[in-house]
Structure 1
Amino acid sequence: MAYIHDMTDPLSLDARKGLPEHLRVLADMYPRTDWRGHPNFNDLTAFWLERHGMFRQLNDLLVEGSEKRLDRANPRYGRELQHYTSMFLNQLHGHHRIEDDHYFPQFIPLDSRLAQGFEILDRDHHALDGHIHALAEGTNAVLRRIAAGEDDEAEARALLDRQRAFRSFLHRHLEDEEDLVVPVILEYGAALS
C-alpha cells in the first residue's frame, strides 16, 4: 500500500526544501557550527544527533547493498537486507514515538513562534510511516524471491528506487528537525531541566 502525499502543501515532507524563514528564527541565531560549543549542548542532545547520524548511515548502507546486488557484487544481500532493514525501520519508528510522545511536548510551550514547526515534524512522522511501510513491503518482496530461489532483479530495482526516495525524505526531515530542535535546546536549556 503506497502512502498518498499532498503535493499541494508546500510544507509537506515531499515538497519542502527546508524550514520556512519564520521557523528559522532560532536556527539563524544558532548556526550548526556553534552547536557543540554552546553551554546548553548536553550529552542527550549529542546522543540524539548521533541517532540521526546512525539513521542516515543505515539508509546509505541499504542503498549501497541494493546497488551492489544489482551489480552482482553482494552475495550476502538477502541476509544483510533483512538484518539492516529490520534494525533501521524498527529503530526509526521507536525514535519517532519517543520524540512525539516525550520530547516535542516539552519543546512546544517554550516558544510559540515554533509551534507550526513541531506540527510539521509531526506530519513528517506520519508521512514517514507510509514510507516505512512501503520500504518494508519492497524489502519483503525481494526476500520472498530470494527465499524461493527466484530471480529478484526487478524487485531489487524497485526496492532501490524506494530506498533512494526514502533517503531523500529522511534527510530532509532530519535536517529540518535538527534545525528546529537543537536551537530550542540551546536557547531554553535551563527551562528543560
Structure 2
Amino acid sequence: MGVVIVLAGVDRGLNGLLAGLGLPRPGLLFSGTLFAVIFACTVRFLTIPVQGLDAGLQALSPNLDSAARSLGRRPPGLLRHVHLPLLRVPLATSALLVFVDTLKELPAALVLRPFNTNTLAVRAFELASDERLADAALPALAILLAGVVPVLLLTRSMRPAGQAAPADARSPVESHADPR
C-alpha cells in the first residue's frame, strides 16, 4: 500500500504540474503499470543483495586494495579486476535469491499489475481460487522449476574446478554389504 500511496502522489503531482503549465494531463503514468510492480519488488527485496554484498565485501581484505593500487590500478580497474571477480559468488547468489522471490511475489503483483497482465504467481492464484487445481499446477510447476534450475546451476558453478559432485559417503561395496 505504501507504493500505491507514493506513486499515486507522484501521478497527482505530475498531473497538477502539467495542468499548471497548460499542458494536457497524462493521467496515471506510474500507478497500475509494470513500473509500479518493478518498483515495489525493488523496494521489498533490496535488503537481500545489500546484505549479500555486504557480507562479501566484509570478507575481502583491505590489503587487496593497497596491493592493487601499488601495482597501478585505479578505482575503476580495482573494481573490475579485483572486487568483481572476488564477489562473483555473492553477486550471483543475491541475484538468484531476488529472482526467485520476485518470481513468486503475489501481493505486489496482484495490487499493482496493469490490467490484463498476469505473472505466474497471479495466474496460479487465480486458477487455484477458482478451484481449478489441475490447471493451476502448470504455473505453480513453472515457478518451482524456474527457482530450482538456477539454484542447481549456481551450486554447480560454485564447485571448485575439477571437483566431482558429492557422492554417497559409503563405498559401493559397503552399500551392498549384508547388514548382519
Name the TM-score, length of structure 1 as normaliser: 0.29
Larger Rg: 2
Name the TM-score, length of structure 2 as normaliser: 0.31
- The higher relative CO (CA closer than 8 Å, separation ≥ 6) is in 1
